[in-house]
């Protein structure tokens, strides 16, 4: 199989690259900062319910350091907020015919890549993983690490998709080539609308009977209404659950349960950025284009960005305060300012 260049070696990219490497595929990781330094110094440490491996995977700081070869496949695994800059850097050195696979949440990455590369593939990512410490990634599911169904963007399956799917299957992932891959990616978008709530409010609520799941349900109701108004076909949650079946088995790693979503991890690591603009913000954008109000998603988007900029830890927002802010914002949603101010009481 061709060499995989994993661009973005955090939770998803790091675990995927490690699993491919362990399965005998040639892999190069593109990472940055302390994470890159740790991988170069000691290898990539992969922790899972079944044990720990440290793998000596080659790692570089950018696509300009890769010795590009015919047949290389790029696996994009950075947050959507970083995709545009990453793809521009990639396009400066890689052949436009290089296959680029978007192993990412959201639906904006594929069209961004298609501006620069002719062969683009989307992946419906069902893959619990964590990255909080430089040089360390965690795979939370075993023995199947995740589900990575893929297809060509905007639609179709070709020989390259089949070969990549086979490689993923060899590396402990379930993977089916699907010609309608965006149906799966849009239901995953609806599922990911709760990521920012997980980051802002935590999963257990305030301890006073407030349930963050009620916020998530409101976000998904807005999202479903927007997709229907836009005429965008998406997989049902029932179909999505049936595909997952019992393949994903989340188990403790080093005696600890999984902490939180990728957005929770962004706040926990104080990265200064969060993916809400490309998750909740995608629903806001489509709502504005098609005349569907999305006040809850807009509020979550703004609060998540505010928390990321301020360096707030996960769980800093009370559920009750969210509903107060939403009640105040709903009448004037089109003209709200970028920063929402939390109540002091």
Render pLDDT for 233-248 as a digit per residue (tens, 0 to 9).
999 999 999 999 999 9
- pLDDT confidence of residue 207: 53
Strands 136-139 and 129-133: antiparallel
Q: Using 50, 70 and 90 to split pLDDT, how confident is the model at 169? A: very high
pLDDT at 324 over 50: yes
Q: How far apart are CA 20 and CA 170, in angstroms?
A: 8
Domains and CATH numbers, the chain: 4-179 (3.40.50.720), 185-335 (1.10.1040.10)
CA atoms within 13 A on the CB side of 189: 32
* Mean of all residue pLDDT scores within the chain: 93
- The pair of structure tokens assigned to 258 is 């999984």
Beta-ladder partners of 200 = none
- pLDDT confidence of residue 338: 47
pTM of the full structure: 0.92
Strands 120-126 and 146-152: antiparallel
Task: Render 146-185 in DSSP notation, one character per residue.
Answer: EEEEEEESSS---HHHHHHHHHHHHTTEE--B-TTHHHHH
- pLDDT confidence of residue 336: 46
- The pair of structure tokens assigned to 19 is 């699993």
**pLDDT, tens digit (0-9, with 9 covering 90-100), for 273-295:** 999 999 999 999 999 999 999 99
pLDDT at 38 over 60: yes
Q: Which DSSP letter does residue 102 get?
A: E
């Amino acid at each position: 199989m061709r060499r995989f260049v994993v661009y973005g070696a955090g939770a998803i990219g790091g675990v995927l690259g490690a699993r491919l490497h362990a399965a005998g595929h040639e892999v190069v990781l593109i990472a940055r900062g302390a994470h890159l330094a740790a991988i170069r110094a000691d290898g990539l440490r992969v922790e899972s319910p079944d044990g720990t491996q440290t793998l000596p995977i080659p790692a570089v700081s950018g696509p300009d350091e890769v010795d590009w070869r015919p047949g290389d496949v790029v696996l994009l695994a950075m947050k959507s907020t970083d995709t545009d800059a990453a793809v521009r850097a990639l396009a400066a050195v890689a052949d436009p015919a290089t296959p680029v696979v978007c192993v990412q949440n959201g639906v904006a990455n594929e069209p961004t890549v298609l501006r620069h590369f002719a062969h683009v593939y989307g992946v419906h990512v069902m893959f619990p993983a964590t990255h909080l410490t430089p040089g360390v990634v965690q795979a939370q599911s075993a023995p199947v690490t995740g589900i990575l169904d893929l297809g060509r963007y905007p639609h179709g399956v070709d020989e390259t998709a089949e070969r990549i799917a086979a490689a993923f299957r060899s590396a402990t992932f379930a993977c089916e080539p699907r010609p309608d891959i965006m149906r799966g990616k849009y239901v995953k978008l609806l599922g990911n609308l709760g990521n920012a709530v997980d980051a802002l409010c935590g999963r257990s609520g305030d301890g006073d009977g407030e349930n963050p799941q009620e916020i998530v349900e409101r976000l998904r109701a807005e999202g479903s209404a927007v997709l229907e108004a836009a005429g965008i076909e998406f997989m049902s949650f029932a179909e999505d659950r049936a595909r997952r079946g019992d393949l994903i088995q989340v188990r403790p790693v080093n005696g600890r349960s999984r902490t939180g979503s990728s957005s929770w991890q962004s706040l926990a690591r104080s990265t200064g950025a969060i993916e809400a603009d490309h998750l909740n913000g995608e629903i806001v954008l489509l709502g504005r284009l098609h005349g569907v109000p999305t006040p809850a998603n807009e509020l979550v988007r703004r609060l998540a960005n505010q928390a990321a900029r301020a360096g707030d830890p996960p769980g800093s927002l009370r559920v009750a305060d969210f509903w107060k802010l939403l009640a105040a914002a709903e009448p004037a949603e089109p003209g709200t300012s970028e920063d929402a101010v939390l109540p002091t009481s």
